[in-house]
Chain A
Amino acid sequence: MSTDLTPGSPGNLPATTGTADGAGREQPLYPLAPHQLRLTDTDPRAAKRAERQVATMFGLSALLIVAFVVAYVMVQTDQYLDLGNIGKFQLSNVLLGLTFGGAVFLIGAGAIHWAKKLMADEEMVDYRHPAATDDETRASLLEDFNDGLAESGFAQRRMVRRTLIGALALFPVPLVVLLRDLGPLPGTSLRETIWKAGERIVTDVTLRPIRPSDIPVGGLVNASPGSLEEVQHAEGNMNERAKAVIILVRMTPEQIKSQQGEGWDYNGILAFSKICTHVGCPIALYQHVTHHLLCPCHQSTFDLSDSGNVVFGPANRRLPQLPITVDDAGYLVASSDFHEPVGPSFWERG
């Protein structure tokens, strides 16, 4: 590579090397500072020292690999390293990580140190060459192509040509047809949940029906529809759960400033969708003094005493309220489905 350099002046490039423009002037490419020799180029002791440093790094890396094997064999997985406030760590993992990571790092660091301090340090110019094929090769290729065209009879045998074009034109059709598997279209499923008039409200996980007296003022219940388990089992997925989960909260009737519908509470018990209207995180961070419900994902905050309106954060819509009442047996039930779609906005909702 050093053949590109002017002999006798290593690394000292003429600052005006370049091509001539239309007017025949020499264009300066870039100014270059004069080459500076490194300490290791001039002082053999410095070079020797750098060599020792690089060798030390490589040697330490080898030692760390040995330490890795020793740690792997000797340290049991039930030994823990207690660092007080920082935490308790499995000693084995800490040692394996430190030794192996250190070994890899030292090989890299040694190589870089070697390259910077000891390997040849010369500036050079790598000239750019034209990338195009020469005219002769191009003409020959065109000739080959035309010969092939004539020999295949592609121009004369029109039936073959047309059927081939037809076949190739139809070839992508399966790719388009298969797009159907992205569906079916959601239909009304984004606007409806399995809540309906008379649907029992049960506690989530434990599936207990709830009497109004079970919820004290200030209470919170994570709840779901009574038929959810059945529906989930039949459909084999959790889509309905993702839409239908609710929270029940109770406040004194005087604390309720407004609701999404007249009499949608039951003696101060309010039911709201648990799905944030921003991007659909489940929310139950309910502060019963302020009646605020906070979404942990992006800090959208809803005031459940005031129609579930957004009081803070990126959510664009209020939290849908579920109208509730009690059935003949005295258990809480829904009076209807939600009156607006639950969860985040979607394309067709506008």
Chain B
Amino acid sequence: MTRAPRRRHPFAGVAVLLVGLVATGTAFAAVNAGTSAQASGAVASQTQVEAGRQLYVEGCASCHGIAGEGTEEYPSLIGTGAAAVDFQMQTGKMPATSPGVQVIGKPRNYSDDEIAAIAAYVASLGAGPAIPTAAELDFAGADLSEGGTLFRTNCMQCHNFAGKGGALSDGAFAPSLMDVDSKIIWEAMLTGPQNMPIFSNETLPPESKQAILKWIDHLQNDKDPGGLALGSMGPVSEGVFVWIVGLGLVLAVTVWIGAKVR
């Protein structure tokens, strides 16, 4: 809403309001029914799709093609689904500021309603993973211990055993999960943004994803009873600390003991 308001159609405000009302209504219905919106676009109204198309043409088409077919350098969005759009735009990774090894998240440029509209439009281009419903994201009944096992099997290698993130090759990195919303994590598992592989619902079913979310929630609220976590990187940061700070102190005291007194 804050960026480039003048370039909009005079009726954009009305359209957005409509989109918002429709989106809220359909989302409420979807939550109430407790069913996962499997066929992407099933819950999106034609108005929303049209509003999304306009926003898409305005903000996304220069890289991803006029109808989401992609260009030589940038990927096609056909079949990526609403979940991918929601992930990329809610985290502010899209629209990207510049191409590079890894697109970095930033404060998002679009409102919830606008993102929902673009997601509905992209979902209408081809079936893909849908935005998870509140019922899917409800991990209250999940098994925390199993979540820990699944996290250590599937997520830990890149995102660190404490979810603090870590380095990959060629300058890419796996981000920290400490401040990430459950919905964003679910969408990332389902759509595999950038270098992250896809963990489909068939091989990592929703119950398992819920268990993982519960474990990540546990990690996010965990405190350090022991002391400095030093990024929870284990021997790497702890070793650096001991070698530089610890050994430095020992050397300083040794020099003091041996120094000549005047």
Contacts and interface: CB of A to CB of B under 8 A. Distances in A.
A and B: interacting chains: yes
Interface of A: 36, 38-40, 77, 80, 86-90, 93-94, 97, 112, 116-117, 121, 203-206, 208, 210-211, 213-216, 218-222, 249, 282-290, 292, 294, 296, 299, 301, 312
Contacts of A36: 262
B226 A88 contact: no
Contacts of B150: 205-206
A216 B169 contact: no
A222 B153 CA distance: 7
B142 interface: no
A88 B150 CA distance: 27
Nearest to B201: A214
Contact of B172 (A40, A93, A211, A287): A287
Nearest to A301: B169
A226 to B, nearest CB: 14
A220 B199 contact: yes
A116 B258 CA distance: 9
Interface stretch (B36-44, B87-95, B202-210): B202-210
A15 B202 CA distance: 88
A284 B158 CA distance: 8
Q: Which 6 A-B pairs have the closest CB atoms?
A: A220-B197, A214-B202, A287-B195, A219-B198, A90-B225, A284-B157
Contacts of A214: 200, 202-203
A312 B171 CA distance: 14
Contacts of B228: 86-87, 89
A97 B172 CA distance: 39
Interface in B150-173: 150, 153-154, 157-158, 166, 168-170, 172
B169 A210 contact: no
Nearest to B230: A87
Interface residues of B, number: 37
Given A203-B203, A312-B169, A89 B197 contact: no
Contact of B198 (A285, A288, A290): A288
Nearest to A41: B261
A227 B258 CA distance: 66
A273 B146 CA distance: 24
A220 B223 contact: no
Given A206-B205, A218-B192, A287 B168 contact: yes
Contacts of A112: 256-257
A147 B234 CA distance: 66
B203 A288 contact: no
A104 to B, nearest CB: 13
Given A39-B262, A87-B229, A210-B203, A290 B195 contact: yes
A219 B197 CA distance: 5
Nearest to A83: B228
Contacts of B224: 87-90
Interface string B136-157: 0000000000100110011001
13 contacts: A40-B261, A89-B224, A93-B227, A112-B257, A203-B204, A210-B203, A215-B200, A216-B192, A283-B157, A285-B157, A286-B197, A294-B169, A312-B169
A290 B170 contact: yes
Contact of B202 (A86, A213, A283, A301): A213
Interface string B226-262: 1111000000000000000000000000001100011
Given A90-B223, A93-B225, A112-B256, A215 B169 contact: no
Given A220-B199, A249-B197, A284 B229 contact: no
Nearest to A294: B169
B153 A204 contact: yes
A285 B167 CA distance: 10
A274 to B, nearest CB: 10
Nearest to B172: A287
B157 A219 contact: no
A283 B200 CA distance: 20
Given A219-B197, A219-B198, A285 B168 contact: yes
Contacts of A211: 202
B227 A288 contact: no
A289 B225 CA distance: 39
Nearest to B260: A36
Contacts of B169: 287, 290, 292, 294, 299, 301, 312
A300 B65 CA distance: 37
B17 interface: no
A45 to B, nearest CB: 15
A287 to B, nearest CB: 4
B196 interface: yes
Contact of A288 (B195, B205, B229): B195
B203 A296 contact: no
B194 interface: yes
A222 to B, nearest CB: 5
A220 B225 CA distance: 35
A206 B199 CA distance: 13
